[in-house]
Every structure is written in structure tokens, then in C-alpha cells.
Amino acid sequence: MTLRTQKAGGGQEPWTLEELSAGLAKFFTDKGRYPTGPEVDTYPYLPSARSIERRFGGIVKLRQTLKLDSQADFRTGQHSIDRAHLIGQRAHQTENTVNDFLVGRFGKEFVHREYLFVDDKRTRADFFVYDKSGGFCVDVFYPGSKRNLQGCLNSKLNKYTSDYMRQYPVIFLQMNKEIDQGTLDTLILNKKKLLGGGQHLMAWEPFVAFCQGRKRLSVGK
């Protein structure tokens, strides 16, 4: 089977089942499994997931049509369980990294993890840090790709709508090292839903610089 390369722009001939089968077979050879929906968009030997949705009813139905020897729907079953476990494990490790840095910079007494604004067990920041300027909040997230970045940020913004949650600076800390600050800045410039006053979207290096510019408190002072 001949591999077809994905090209940008319209006016292209529709992909055939044979071409799709060849692209999926190539992915399986490379990765040892078939792609998820988001991976289809970035793989050079497959069309966009949207075009597969239009012509074949989606990636799940396409796998079923081609009778691939794999779980068709990665949103359910063992793949979903494994993915949830991976996300949970990564979130725990990521927050530990941030916690260790903040404690080292500001002191254990002044770093509050899972800080509750009110006693409803829901309105909380991942971290609240007390410093000589009053303090600031840190909300950590790890988008799996640039594609997921905006959705993750919108979810964070929706949490910080109350005035009492916006009385301190809020740092939305993006921890995927493959997404740099330039990408974050471009997202903010083109975003319809703007960040509020005192809200900042940062990658790790700018966050470290921000913290180094804040003055820490001392016990008893």
C-alpha cells in the first residue's frame, strides 16, 4: 500500500480507505498501537480527524470499518483506565515538583498546598504562597499537547470568577516542557476570553524568575 502525505489547504482529493489503512498500518509499525483522535491530526500519513469524522463518522467507526485488531474506542476500556492512571500519576509528580521549589524558595511555613478560599472543599488553589507583597496563588496544569492548552486554561479561568479568589495575583503554571512561553503568549494575544487583572499564564522558567523577584517572609518577622 502506498503512503499518502498529509498536506495543508483545501481542494484535495478525498482519502480512500486504502490510503487510510496504509497510514494506520505505518503508525502501528512506528508506535506498536493505533492512534488516538488527537494523534491523527499530527501524524503526516493521515488526514485530519475532522475529515475522518465527515467521511467515515469518526476515528472509532473507521477502526471498526477496517476491522483493526485493536480496541476501537480509546475513550473506554483498559486504554481509558491506563490513561487516567497516567494523568493522575503525572499530576502528583508535577505538583510535588512545584511544591519542592516553592518550599525551597519561600519556606515551608509560608507555602500552603490545596489552599481553601472558603470552607466548601471546592474553591481552592493548588498553592498559596505568603510573601512580603501579601501573597500569590499558583494553579498548576499539564496539557498533553498544544491542542489541549486552551481547554485547560479555560477550565482554570472558570474557577477564578469570584472576587475573593482574585484578590491576589494568580499564576496559571503550565508544566509541559514542550510548550514554551512564546506559545503561551501567542495564545493570550489571540484569546477572546481575556485573563483578568493579576492573572498570568506562565511556563516553568518565567515562573521561577517571577518567584525570584518576590521577597520571602521570615518566621517571627
User: What is the model's pLDDT at position 85?
Assistant: 47
User: What is the model's pLDDT at position 216?
Assistant: 94
Q: Which of 94, 91, 63 is nearest to 79 (CA)?
A: 63
| Residues 102 and 138: beta-carbon distance below 8 Å | yes
- Residue entry with cell 492512534: 35
Joined together, the cell numbers standing for residue 46 give 493521515
User: What is the model's pLDDT at position 181?
Assistant: 96
| Residues 187 and 217: beta-carbon distance below 8 Å | no
- Give domain limits for the chain: 1-75, 86-212
Residue 140, classed as helix, strand or coil, is strand
Question: For residues 202-213, b (16+ Cβ closer than 10 Å) or e, as one string?
Answer: bbbebbeebbee
Regions of the chain where pLDDT drops below 70: 1, 8-11, 69-92, 118-122, 220-221
User: What is the model's pLDDT at position 11?
Assistant: 66
pTM: 0.62
CATH classification of 86-212 is 3.40.1350, yes or no? yes
- The total of other beta-carbon atoms located within 10 Å of residue 220's CB is 4
User: What is the model's pLDDT at position 39?
Assistant: 80
Rg of the chain on CA atoms, in Å: 22
User: What is the model's pLDDT at position 74?
Assistant: 43
